[in-house]
Every structure is written in structure tokens, then in C-alpha cells.
Amino acid sequence: MIDTLDDLDVEGTTVGVRVDINSPIADDGSLADDARLRAHVDTLSELLERGGRVAVLAHQGRPGGDDFGSLSPHADRLSDLLGRPVDYVDATFSQAARDAVRSLDDGDCVVLENTRFYSEEYMEFDPDRAARTQLVANLAPVLDAYVNDAFAAAHRSQPSLVGFPTVVPGYAGRVMESELDVLGSIEETPEPRIYVLGGAKVPDSIDVAWSVLEKDLADHILTAGVVANVFLIADGVDLGDASSDFIYEQGYWDEIDRASDLLDAYGDRIALPRDVAVDRDDSRHELGVNALPPQEGEAAMDIGSSTLAYYERLLEDAGTVILNGPAGVFEDDRFELGTRRLYGAATGVPTSIVGGGDTASALRRLGVEGFSHVSTGGGAALQMLTADQLPAVSALERPGDAASDLDNGH
């Protein structure tokens, strides 16, 4: 059982809140998209309005990446979204960070620096070991409680995600609570149940396909994107050198054998594209699978109109649809058709659940709305759908017995 904010006596309590506000960064250093910050407004607002003293923990980017940087702009944007001042300190667990947390009054909020500025945060540990890292060992003594609202990162076992609830009482925030309620009860959703697996996360998608087919959770799986290309090659379709080379370069060549095994075992429930779209003379050109391979240098960039009509017919009778990954290279206007139409059709299904990450970005870009639930997590959502444990969720189920041994600094 996991405690939620309903179980937390907030007033006067110093709460460390782990969120996932990892966002694209514009050239001028500002946030290019604040969707992930908006997702956590309810949790943060509730804690502050109930008199909590809130210290926000989060990461931004990966070391060496273009988006790796300070959380100062995130603090500024959170101040706007919350309608109250949000302080920022350029430290995570040092004396300066602890002093900033100790100085909070009821209803105050401070954003601590990017957790990934600290090297151990980019490593994975079991919870007990994570509790002994510098981040947790130094910051936990000034916290009374820990709230994890970072569902999008819950498939990782990093100190800020699994270490704190080992030593201070842990709670699920509203985002985490909602995600677990929806994704943890897939087997209770209306049937027929259709999974749409697209995008480029081929190993994860094949893991999901095996899991939901073996457990009889899926009546149909519709393939799209690079996932579909792997299945087409597994089915003996010649997609040409450009598509094949991309799959090889991504390290997915072995996935073709796994896809082939899936088709042998469950081929009657796995739908493959009937046509694909390629770039020919700078225009979208559709080819039926019987007309493949394409010309030299042409790659499958989207599913075609015949495939869309086929998939739309299947979705008309669905009770539930779970979607993850775009249908093609939606960033190119010539190849957004598959994603726009496929996801648009899914909004008409009584229960429609969208995995986050790149999929949520695609939908925002295309302006597609009307789903029952849009997850904040990509990898985490996929892992939940395979019924695997999420480390950060499991950590919240652990008793915080050691909390009483800490000097809370109050």
C-alpha cells in the first residue's frame, strides 16, 4: 500500500518533493515547453496551500547534452504557474541547500539545483544503498517527509527517487497517484483492447507486446513507426537499404528475430502496415507493401492511407486503446498524417490512454486532444504495462523506520 497526500499532515511539515520537470530548452536558455511543470502544479499547490514547506528536487537533461543545465528558469516558471514566489538555490545538498530548506516558512517553496549536477544521481542503486549517497544522507535530515510525483522517472533507481523514502516517510503525489490508478488497472478497462505501438523504442515495444499478448490483455496490436518497420522486415518485406540501415545503426537488428517469434506465436493479433510513405522528389509518396522495396535512398517515414483505413476500422470497435509512440516522422509536415489520423481516431474510443514522452510531445505539436488519460511518462508507462515493478514506486511501499533516527533540524 502506498500513502498519498491524503495521508500526510502537511501544515508546518518540511517536504522534499521529487518532480519530473525535465524540459526542452530554447537557444536563449529559457524553457521551450512547460508542459511537465504544469503537470505538477496540483501537487505543489496543494502542499503549499495546506501550509507545507516545500523543497523541490528535479533533474534537467543529461551530462554533456544540450539541455543539461540549471533549474533557475524552472523556478521562475513555477512561480508564475503557482501564483506565488518560488525561490531557487544553486545547491542540492550542501550547507547552502540545507540552510535554504531550514529557512522555509509555512507555504514557502524553494527549487534546489539540478540533481544530476551530482554524479551519484546519474547512477542506479538499490534503495538502502541510495540512502547512503551524499544527496540523501545530507538532505534527508532537514526533511520531515518525502513526496514522489515524478512518475516519468519512476522506472529509474536513482538516489533522489528511491533513497529518500527509505529514511523519511514517503508519499505519492497527485501525478504519481493518478498514473498508478490508471496504468495499474489496465486489465479492468473495457474490451476489445487495442495497443498501438509506434515510435523508435523497439526493444521496449516488443517487451510490451510479448507481455500483453501472453497475459491476454490485448485483442489487437497495431504497429507503426520504426516498430512497424522491424515487424515488416521480420515478415519478409524488403523495406530497402535506407530503412534497414537505420534499424541496424540503432542496434535493433536482433529485434527482428524477436518480432518474427511474436508473429509466429500471435500473428493473428498483430496488425502490420499495408503501405508506407517515403520521400520521393521532396514529396510524400505512398507504396503498398507489394510494391516494395522503394527506390534507392528512400526510407519508410510514415504509415500510408490504406494502413490508416485498416487501423481506423479496428479502432471503431475498440473499448480501450493504449497508444505509445508516433506513427512516423511527425516533425516533417509531409509525414505527420499517420500520427494525426491514427491518434485522432483513438480519441473516439471510450477509454483512450496515451503513453507520454515523445508521444505527448507529438500530440501537443499536432493539436490532438480528447484522450481519457495522457501519461507523463514514456519509459515508465511502458514498464508498467509489462507488469514490471517500477523501482521508485516500490520504494514508496517501504517503511520509513529509519526516519526516527534522523535529526530533522527543527
CB 355 within 8 A of CB 373: no
Query: What's the confidence (pLDDT) of residue 379?
Result: 82
- Report the first-to-last Cα separation within the chain, whole angstroms: 29
**Region of poorest pLDDT, from 38-47, 150-159, 394-403:** 394-403
- Classified as helix, coil or strand, 351 is strand
User: What is the mean predicted confidence (pLDDT) over 303-331?
Assistant: 96
Say if residues 341 and 306 touch (Cβ distance below 8 Å).
no
For residue range 328-376, list pLDDT tens digits in order.
999 999 999 999 999 999 999 999 999 876 787 788 889 999 999 999 8
Q: Where are the alpha helices (DSSP H) in 225-304?
A: 225-234, 241-249, 255-266
Statement: residue 146 has pLDDT above 90: yes
Instruction: Say what the pLDDT of residue 376 is.
Output: 87
Distance CA 26, CA 65 (A): 13
On the question of pLDDT at 40 being above 60, the answer is: yes
Angle, helices 41-49 vs 72-82, to 10°: value is: 70
Average pLDDT over residues 4-8: 97
Instruction: Specify the pLDDT at position 364.
Output: 83
What is the crossing angle of helices 255-266 and 225-234, to 10°?
A: 70
* pLDDT greater than 90 at residue 400: no
What phi and psi values does residue 18 have, to the nearest 5 degrees? -90, 120
> What is the spatial distance between Cα 204 and Cα 331, in angstroms, rounded to a whole number?
22
- Judge whether residue 410 has pLDDT over 70: no
Which residues, at least 6 apart from 125, have a Cβ–Cβ distance to it below 8 Å?
133, 157, 158, 159, 162, 163
Tell me: pLDDT of 252 over 60. Answer: yes
- For 48-67, write each residue's pLDDT tens digit: 999 999 999 999 998 888 89
Rounded CA separation 41/138 (Å): 27
Question: In terms of Cα–Cα distance, which of 24, 50, 46 is closest to 37?
Answer: 24
Say which residue the cell 531557487 belongs to.
88
**Model confidence pLDDT, tens digit, residues 83-102:** 999 999 999 999 999 999 99
Q: Is 402 a residue whose pLDDT tops 60?
A: no
Edge-to-edge strands, sheet with 351-354: 270-271, 220-223, 193-197, 320-324, 351-354, 373-374
**Residue 408 pLDDT more than 60?**
no
Query: Each residue of 123-140: pLDDT tens digit?
Result: 999 999 999 999 999 999
User: Between these two residues, 399 and 104, which has the higher pLDDT value?
Assistant: 104
Strand order of the β-sheet with 14-18 is: 87-88, 109-111, 53-57, 14-18, 145-148, 170-172
What integer best gives the mean pLDDT of the chain? Answer: 93
Q: Is the pTM of this model over 0.75?
A: yes
pLDDT reported for residue 401: 41
**Residues 255-311 pLDDT 10s:** 999 999 999 999 999 999 999 999 999 999 999 999 999 999 999 999 999 999 999
**What integer pLDDT is reported at residue 399 of this predicted model?**
53
> Which is higher by pLDDT, 356 or 75?
75
Checking if the pLDDT of 212 tops 90, the result is yes
Q: Which residue has the higher pLDDT, 357 or 77?
A: 77
Q: How far apart are CA 38 and CA 296, in angstroms?
A: 45
For 37-79, list the strands marked E by DSSP: 53-57
Query: Do the beta carbons of residue 389 and residue 198 sit within 8 Å?
Result: no
pLDDT at 404: 37
- Amino acid 290: pLDDT: 96
Residue 271 confidence (pLDDT): 98
Check residues 379 and 73 and name the one with the higher pLDDT: 73
Dihedral sign for Cα atoms in the order 370, 375, 379, 380 = negative
Q: What is the mean pLDDT of residues 141-169?
A: 96
